Amino acid sequence: MSIGKNIAHDSGASHVTGSSIFIDDRVDSINEVFVGIVTSKIAKGKLLNIKMKRALAHKNCLGVYTSKDLAAKKWGAIFHDQPILVEEDISYFDEACAIIASDDRSKVLEIVKLVELETKEEKPTLTISEARALDDYVYKAPKPFSQGDIKKGFEDSEHILEGEFICGGQEHFYMESQAAVAIPVENGQMQVHASSQHPSETQRVVAEALGVPFHKVVCVVKRMGGGFGGKESQAAPIAAYAAIVASKLNRPTRLILTKDEDMKITGKRHPFENTYKVGFDKDGRILSLKVHLQADAGAYTDLSSSILERAMFHTDGAYYLENCEISGISYRTNNSSNTAYRGFGGPQGNMTIESIIEDIANYLNKDAYEIRRLNIYEGDKTLTPYGQELENNMLPALFDGLYKSCDYQKRLSEIEKFNNLKTGKIRGISMSATKFGIAFTARFLNQGSALVNLQLDATVQASTGATEMGQGVNTKIQQIISHAFGIEPKDIIVMSTSTEKNHNTSPTAASSGSDINGAAALDACNKIKGRLTELVKLIFSGVESDAIIELEIKKGSLDPDIVFENNKVKQLSSGKEIDLKELINSAYFNRISLGGYSHYKTPGLGFCKDRIEGKAFNYYTQGVAVSEVQVCEYTGDLKVLRSDIYMDLGRPLNPGIDKGQVTGAFVQGMGWVTTENLVYADSGELKTYSPTTYKIPNIQDTPRVFNVDFITNNDNECNVHRSKAVGEPPFLLGTSVWTAIKHALSYRADSKQMNLKSPATGEEILTELQRLKNGK
């Protein structure tokens, strides 16, 4: 039985030995061409002319291509509003305006610098407040999420606070930058190898740019060196640049961005500036809440509308809001077009309510855990602001279980004593939670497919629409197939994702890659097993193999009396068994199909955002985290002393991989709220575009003590093998580090309300400390 076991990641050995093949590890083809991108040096204005004479005179330049060379001028994940290459209007600093081709990789950047852009600069809009003043937005939620009577709720409230929560963006910082190799093949076809989370979208954008039907483009994704959402939509134009050059020159073409180029050109996590008004009683019970979310979409729509909605879906966090109104708008600025990022807006919404709870606790001079425990979804209080019931609610057990196991009360007392010593260091502790809805909020994306081929030696080749970016989706699918056929995981290979085998795929995103593609793989296996089951029952009944030849076994069905395990097929009632390989060969000689294709769609989903009704999510992954921090009052230096995580992952398919996802997501979330600060010049140019100026967490930043545990929950019947998704939910738990900082600062606060921004860098901590000490 493979389900629930810690089998190794299917690429683990090749990763550590350096033999895994990524895009730029592909051996150079004969006559391969290399591409560079020419970008704008203004954030807003007009592109008047592209001077390419000097570039074309370079001995290694094979061509310069502009929007005039594209069949389709624009692309977009939802709305086609973003230029593949700028035609006239420049909308952000370092926007792609032209591409160059060179026969010498070392000369690409040299040639790029020879292309001159004549532009007319205009005043850019670089902040949410500037865009709000212009009323310039890309999307406004059609209707707020609301329930109850917020007016009466505020009238009944003993206390009312108003404030804002501000959080910055975040660079994806995947190890493998955006990359693509395009290979022209016969009859005008194009094969594209891309580092993409969404092969089907990459296929479509390439085909549209080339002006060819979709069936002439095949996109192949073996693996990515990280994605985190940054390759969901924005990998597509990168592949298109390579394909255009390959088509023009009829030569294999490679485009690999440097880390600096990638950070400058591509979009980030959406910054948010959220305002709130909260009413509560003397105990801290929230009686009324009004929140308005304001996102920075950047220059184009990309996925901003869906990200804003996801933020609205998660503004309740883990807490029941009897009377509430949650609205949102996504503003257009002249920053790079912001895009998907792990959590997809969920962290920005969830962190808002966690910040509000810290404010309530500080105002009432209570511990924030008391406020959280008082307000969580519990008992019959399980209706969300968007009208969906929280089923299989594990939050009370998670809160109570972690509170006890991490010795919260004892540690809180010790922190209070430590802070009274006035050593120049202050400590804080805080719990935060996640109730992450699993499903794409766009209903049509909740579908997957799988092709499973059972070979004559009882090994399997499988293909799905999921893409592997290090998260282990292929390993989980390998385990699902292994369990289905009763064979070893090593006897299964999950092949490269390809649009010629799995068509019209959804992106591997929304934490649902294992869910929808794993369910499709299981169904494909069961189709094969159904036919084998009918055959083996005939064999066990005494029918000779020669007599089976004329029987038509096309479909068949599973039978609990027939069990596939340990490379054998057994009949429980009779005790008879046969080697799986022998049964497979009998099926082959009797012309019974040993291949299975399945299309899966998540049942029961359907949410109407105009009426605010329906089922938005298939289920919820829930979890809590407690973090303890120490802050230096003189330098703002932060140390995370300890973090404890307790999560509900249903019945994990692979606990080891899931634990890796939890710890990795937590640290990435912790980085977002502490050190990862994006800095822009007044011109709109990104200044923090390399590891020297942009600080992701390193080993010294991780918690000194780090505990992860999973609660037992076998009741998630709506997902494959009762598992739960794990990719995004634990990212939200990194918030506990930020709320712990807020708790620490409260010990030095003469003010009843804090304005700590995220990320809480050393500079931000010192600024807030000074303000709080002055009672402002």
Task: Report how far residue 245's alpha carbon sits from residue 35's, in angstroms, rounded to the nearest whole number.
Answer: 8
How confident is the model at residue 260, as a pLDDT? Answer: 97
Q: Which of 676, 677, 665, 641 is nearest to 728 (CA)?
A: 665
Question: In 113-212, at which residue ranges do the beta strands (DSSP E only) sit?
Answer: 116-121, 137-140, 145-147, 159-167, 179-185, 189-194
pLDDT tens profile 708-765 = 999 999 999 999 999 999 999 999 999 999 999 999 999 998 767 889 999 999 999 9
Order across the sheet with 619-632: list the strands: 425-438, 619-632, 638-648, 705-710
Q: Is the pLDDT of residue 404 over 80?
A: yes
pLDDT tens profile 86-142 = 999 999 999 999 999 999 999 999 999 999 999 999 999 999 999 999 999 999 999
User: What does the block give as tokens for 411?
Assistant: 């540690």
How confident is the model at residue 629, as a pLDDT? Answer: 98
How confident is the model at residue 776, as a pLDDT? Answer: 59
Q: Check if 95 is active-site.
A: no
How confident is the model at residue 773, as a pLDDT? Answer: 78
Task: Report how far residue 739's alpha carbon sits from residue 357's, in angstroms, rounded to the nearest whole number.
Answer: 9
Write the CB contacts of 416 (distance below 8 Å, at least 6 apart in sequence): none
The answer to whether 286 and 375 have CB atoms below 8 angstroms apart is yes
How confident is the model at residue 543, as a pLDDT? Answer: 81
How confident is the model at residue 771, as a pLDDT? Answer: 86
pTM for this structure? 0.97
Q: Is the pLDDT of residue 549 over 70?
A: no
How confident is the model at residue 315, as a pLDDT? Answer: 98
Task: Report how far residue 664's alpha carbon sits from residue 727's, in angstroms, rounded to the nearest whole number.
Answer: 9
Across 282-297, average pLDDT:
98
Q: Which of 405, 351, 318 is nearest to 741 (CA)?
A: 351
How confident is the model at residue 556, as a pLDDT? Answer: 81
pLDDT tens profile 620-651 = 999 999 999 999 999 999 999 999 999 999 99
Selected catalytic residue, list 171, 232, 354, 728: 728
pLDDT tens profile 217-261 = 999 999 999 999 999 999 999 999 999 999 999 999 999 999 999
pLDDT tens profile 274-288 = 999 999 999 999 999
Q: Which residue has the higher pLDDT, 421 or 544?
A: 421
Q: Which of 458, 433, 466, 711 is nearest to 567 (CA)?
A: 458
Using DSSP, how many helices (H) and how many strands (E) does the chain show? 20, 32
Across 566-594, average pLDDT:
96
How confident is the model at residue 749, as a pLDDT? Answer: 84
Across 494-516, average pLDDT:
97
Strands 45-51 and 89-90: antiparallel
Distance of CA 85 to the CA centre of its chain: 26
How confident is the model at residue 551, as a pLDDT? Answer: 58
